[in-house]
Chain A
Amino acid sequence: MPKLLEVENLRTQFHTTEGTVKAVDGITYDVSEGETVAIVGESGCGKSVGAMSILRLIPHPPGEILEGSRILFGGKDLLAMGDEEIRHVRGGRISMVFQEPMTSLNPVLTIGLQLTETMMLHLGLGQPEADRRAVELLGMVGIGEPERRLKQYPHHFSGGMRQRVMIALALSCNPRLIIADEPTTALDVTIQAQILELMRNLTKQMGVALIVITHNLGVVARYAERVIVMYAGKIVESGTADQIYHNPRHPYTIGLLNSVPRMDLRQGGKRLVPIEGQPPDLTRLDGGCSYRPRCRWAVEACARSIPALEAVGDGQIAACFRAGERALDLEREFDLDEASGA
């Protein structure tokens, strides 16, 4: 599969009164056509900022995407584009699904208006064709009586329904890539599965690549082909979902997996193993591994220099000096089906 998106050495910083926050500090990854990639990490690790940087939605000031960062989309550098050009990419070629379905739709405009406006803008459709396509899209995302629904306002919709509308909106202009920023966090558990199922099916059907940003490893297990684990603005490990779950090499990934609640724990008499401590202050990073203070396997070398990403398997990379040692093994086997709540 050809590469659709190539992020190279992306660095995004925020200049605040407390100092410069290195929210994203040199991340490199790529997404192929039609591929589903998950970016996982805890709050504040830079996963959202990294995604917003792709569409240049970082408020400037205080935010800044540093020189030397490159984001190639279909071979073109998004960071070098003019305002007019990037606007055509936004919503047209790359669209986003946000975390908060309750507030991501404009409360004073009808659903129909919000759906058709985008299509008229990016696809150059007239009102009648846009209306027809809007009905079709709402049907696709599983909203009944689409004709009637189009005339309604967002407050007539429940959270899950609104997220369906957001997905319809994201798909409306036939994008090549959808970035979903924690698309299910604000929904209740029963709806989460439905929404994820819907996104997976529609993106597979239409051959759209998908970047899912999440802190829920259960989500990742089931839906992503590749997983990128981020910590303190850096990628610490990446590989296929299989590799990450069955053979994690970075202590942080292992910690994340150990802290996922699992049904079989009660029988085993074991408790959840949380990751102790807090993520580091991104204004005060030192020259060592940023995960060191929370790491059970930290050694002296970890304080001296930042470990680089190195291959630890077929396509799997990890940034840990001890990634090759068997000492880092998971405490327990991870069951993919179990984790995804199936």
Chain B
Amino acid sequence: MATPQAFIDTGELDELKNPLGERLWSLARKQPLGTAGALVVVVMAFAATFASFLTPYDPVVNSLEDMLTPPNAEFAMGTDEFGRDILTRVLFGARTALFIGLVAAFLGATIGLVLGVASAYFGGLFDLIVQRIVDVFLAFPLIIMALAVVATLGPGVENVIIAITVPFIPQCARVVRSSALSIREIPYVDAARALGYSHARIILRHMAPNVMAPFLIMLTYFVGQAILLEAVLSYLGMGVQDPTPAWGLMLKGGAEEFLESAPWLSIFPGLAITLAVFGFNLFGDALRDMLDPKLRSR
């Protein structure tokens, strides 16, 4: 974040003067769960970025002589029915999950941000119409919405991203609007109008930065949700397609045929999904505690 200063009250200004390590340590003690979440996020990002250096195996090449090997020294998480190393596929799966998760969450939250702020800024009829459309979208559960989109567009990474983005937009728009409504009444918005700024400039440059707190909270929450949604869609065969390494896809193959004979096929990707979603949610909660002054414990 470029302007963390704005969210920090004077009590925390002292902390700014301390060295980084000390500050992180005091933060970790205040937010142990959030730190654990952040750790998961960092490990996952690391795994996704350096997947190809972390393992000697290829995630898609079959190796039939190693088929269904249980976890051992050579294959830490065993191999699947095509003899592909599970650990390798979990690492590369992190790449797929993070890519889809981040892109979908960022798109959904950002479009929602602009829509929510615009809705609050213009008010009146525009606000009414936007909010009623949002109501309609919010009436559907996330997964149903995503399924509907992917059923229309067909599977594939881009379509999965669109399918996950669409249900996020109204969620973020609603939350952001409520914050933006109070911002709208603060004189600097009128002052900005009196300075001759255009609507777009006021919305994007003057109001949007002021609703960064709810935006960031929604963003982290969305990443976790998006990873889960991607896994669900892939599991249902409507998301990422084989042989791309994806956790939901691995779970599907493993659980349907080999749950009893080779449980490692489904346990490890399942663990990865759980841990990733859990990590992002903890991180998001901690972020909310820090950014929302009303919830901040003194």
Contacts and interface: CB of A to CB of B under 8 A. Distances in A.
A91 B210 contact: no
A87 B196 contact: yes
Nearest to A179: B194
B6 A108 contact: yes
B212 interface: yes
Contact of B187 (A91, A103, A117): A103
Given A57-B194, A90-B193, 11 more contacts: A87-B198, A91-B195, A95-B195, A98-B194, A103-B187, A104-B188, A106-B209, A108-B3, A108-B210, A117-B205, A118-B195
A268 interface: no
Interface string A85-112: 0011111100110111001111111000
A61 interface: yes
Given A61-B124, A109-B206, A88 B188 contact: no
A96 B6 contact: no
Interface in B178-197: 186-188, 190-197
A153 to B, nearest CB: 6
Contact of B194 (A90, A108, A109, A155): A90
A177 interface: no
Given A108-B3, A109-B206, A57 B187 contact: no
B55 interface: no
B274 interface: no
Contacts of A100: 187
30 contacts: A55-B194, A57-B193, A57-B194, A59-B123, A87-B198, A89-B196, A90-B195, A91-B194, A91-B197, A95-B194, A96-B191, A98-B187, A99-B187, A100-B187, A103-B187, A104-B191, A105-B188, A105-B191, A106-B188, A106-B206, A106-B210, A108-B3, A108-B6, A109-B206, A118-B195, A121-B195, A121-B196, A121-B197, A122-B196, A153-B6
A100 B188 CA distance: 9
Contacts of A109: 205-206, 209
Contact of B197 (A55, A87, A166): A87
B187 A90 contact: no
- Of A98, A103, A105, A108, chain B has the most CB atoms within 10 Å of the CB of A108
A7 interface: no
Interface in B222-251: none
Contacts of A107: 6, 188, 210
Interface of A: 55, 57, 59, 61, 87-92, 95-96, 98-100, 103-109, 117-118, 121-122, 153, 155, 166, 169
A103 B185 CA distance: 10
A117 B123 CA distance: 26
A215 B3 CA distance: 39
Contacts of B52: none
Nearest to A61: B124
B62 interface: no
B10 to A, nearest CB: 8
B5 interface: yes
Interface string B5-25: 110000000000000000000
Contacts of A103: 186-188
A5 to B, nearest CB: 16
A108 B206 CA distance: 8
B193 A108 contact: no
A144 to B, nearest CB: 21
A108 B5 CA distance: 8
A108 B209 contact: yes
Contacts of A91: 194-197
